[in-house]
């Protein structure tokens, strides 16, 4: 009896260790694939993105303002494209973040259960809508409105180039709406994570609900909200489909009523026919975008680490 028991234990131990080992290698391989993907993308972007920097000249490429890749003497300045992405994203964040954070406050602090039961799923639905739909709506609704506004403002102008409503403002509004779900969801969980006793203490000291929200809850949820902002920036700067439909895609200085081209749309719109240096410059644009996104991610990790530190 005992011997048999020993044997079974021995046997199951063996099986167990085999299963453990298999599982471990499966996990390791999965993890390696993700790491390899990141590493190969990074290497690929650098290998493909750098030749043009030398061919064209880094200063001419990054700080040149004339984008004429098809000209007899081609010119590959992407400064306006970089500026458009930076300014467009900044404006979208300035517009979208306050809206998103206030919505999150409303959902977690003010809304009755019934209202929250309607608003919360609506926000989640917003996150699931494909970006091309945002673009189409912008094209059908925003652009004609912008065109009307443009005609009111610039009619008779001898210097303004009419865009038909496809301009920076349209792109910014679409981007601001697109980052809303990210900002709302993450800020809301941050706000809900603020311990109830902090609110109770504040209210017990005589602070009103609004005072409590702005003086106690939001400062306590700061690191979560910053995370929301950074992720929003990441979403906005990487978006291509929606803004390619509404921004006009001509390379111009990013002024509100100018037709503009973002880093992402610059790649998308010309990859089809580009060849030689032109194609390599598109890869360089990709590399610039990649650098921006890496920068955003690294700062996000820093913020999160700092946040953890504060909690300790």
Question: Can you give the binding site for another protein, defined by CB under 8 A?
Answer: 67-72, 143-144, 147, 151, 154-155, 158, 161-166, 244-245, 248-251, 259, 261, 268-270, 272-275, 278
- Which CB atom, from 134 or from 199, has the smaller least distance to another protein? 134
**Do 236 and 262 touch, CB atoms closer than 8 A?**
no
Considering beta carbons, is residue 55 or 90 the nearer one to another protein? Answer: 55
Cα(229)–Cα(296) distance, rounded to whole angstroms? 10
User: How many other C-beta atoms lie within 10 A of the C-beta of residue 255?
Assistant: 13
Residues constituting the chain: 312
**Cβ at position 255, least distance to another protein in Å:** 13
Q: Which is nearer to another protein, 196 or 275 (CB)?
A: 275
Nearer to another protein, 2 or 158 (CB): 158
User: Residue 177's beta-bridge partner residues?
Assistant: none
Dist CA 283 CA 286 (whole Å): 5
In the complex with another protein, which residue's Cβ is closer, 33 or 255? 255
Smallest separation (angstroms) from another protein to the CB of 139:
8
Which is closer to another protein, CB of 185 or CB of 249? 249
Query: Measured from the CB of residue 296, what is the shortest distance to another protein in angstroms?
Result: 27
82 — alpha (psi -120 to 50), left (phi > 0) or beta? alpha
- The DSSP secondary-structure symbol of 194 reads S
CA separation for the pair 296, 298 (Å, rounded) = 6
Task: Evaluate the CA torsion angle 250, 254, 259, 262 in order and state its sign.
Answer: positive
Residue with smaller CB distance to another protein, 218 or 282? 282
Q: How far is CA 309 from CA 110, 149, 305, 306, in A?
A: 30, 49, 6, 5
Q: To the nearest whole angstrom, how small is the minimum distance from the Cβ of residue 254 to another protein?
A: 15
Q: What stretch of H or E contains 311?
A: helix 276-311
Q: Residue 237, SS3? A: helix
Structural contact between residues 111 and 119, judged by C-beta atoms closer than 8 angstroms: yes
Nearest distance in Å: CB 252, another protein: 9
Residue 55: CB minimum distance to another protein, A: 17
**Distance of closest approach, residue 302 Cβ to another protein, in angstroms:** 38
Task: Decide whether 189 or 269 has the Cβ nearer to another protein.
Answer: 269
CA-to-CA distance for 228 and 194, rounded, in angstroms? 16
d(CA 281, CA 150): 33
Q: Assess contact for 216 and 198: CB atoms under 8 A.
A: yes
CB of 274 to another protein, least distance (A): 5
């Amino acid at each position: 009896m005992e011997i048999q028991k020993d044997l079974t234990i021995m046997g199951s131990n063996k099986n167990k260790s085999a299963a453990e080992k298999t599982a471990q290698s499966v996990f390791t391989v999965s993890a390696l694939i993700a790491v390899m993907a990141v590493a190969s993308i990074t290497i690929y972007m650098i290998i493909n993105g750098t030749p043009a920097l030398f061919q064209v000249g880094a200063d001419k490429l990054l700080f040149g303002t004339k984008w004429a890749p098809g000209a007899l003497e081609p010119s590959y300045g992407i400064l306006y494209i970089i500026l458009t992405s930076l300014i467009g994203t900044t404006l979208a964040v300035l517009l979208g973040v306050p809206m998103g954070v206030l919505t999150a406050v409303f959902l977690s602090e003010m809304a009755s259960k019934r209202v929250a039961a309607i608003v919360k799923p609506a926000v989640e639905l917003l996150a699931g809508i494909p970006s091309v739909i945002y673009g189409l709506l912008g094209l059908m609704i925003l652009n004609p409105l912008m065109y009307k506004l443009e005609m009111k403002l610039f009619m008779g102008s001898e210097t303004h180039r009419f865009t038909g409503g496809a301009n920076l403002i349209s792109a910014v509004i679409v981007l601001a709406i697109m980052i809303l779900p990210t900002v709302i969801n993450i800020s809301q969980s941050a706000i809900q994570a603020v311990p109830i006793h902090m609110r109770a203490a504040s209210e017990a000291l005589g602070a009103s609900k609004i005072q409590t929200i702005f003086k106690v809850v939001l400062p306590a949820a700061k690191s979560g909200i910053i995370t929301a902002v950074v992720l929003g920036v990441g979403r906005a700067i990487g978006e291509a489909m929606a803004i390619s439909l509404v921004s006009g895609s001509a390379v111009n200085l990013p002024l509100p009523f100018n037709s503009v081209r973002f880093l992402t749309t610059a790649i998308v719109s010309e990859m089809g026919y580009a060849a030689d240096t032109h194609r390599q410059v598109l890869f360089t644009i990709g590399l610039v975008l990649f650098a921006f996104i890496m920068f955003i991610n690294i700062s996000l990790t820093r913020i999160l680490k700092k946040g953890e530190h504060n909690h300790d």
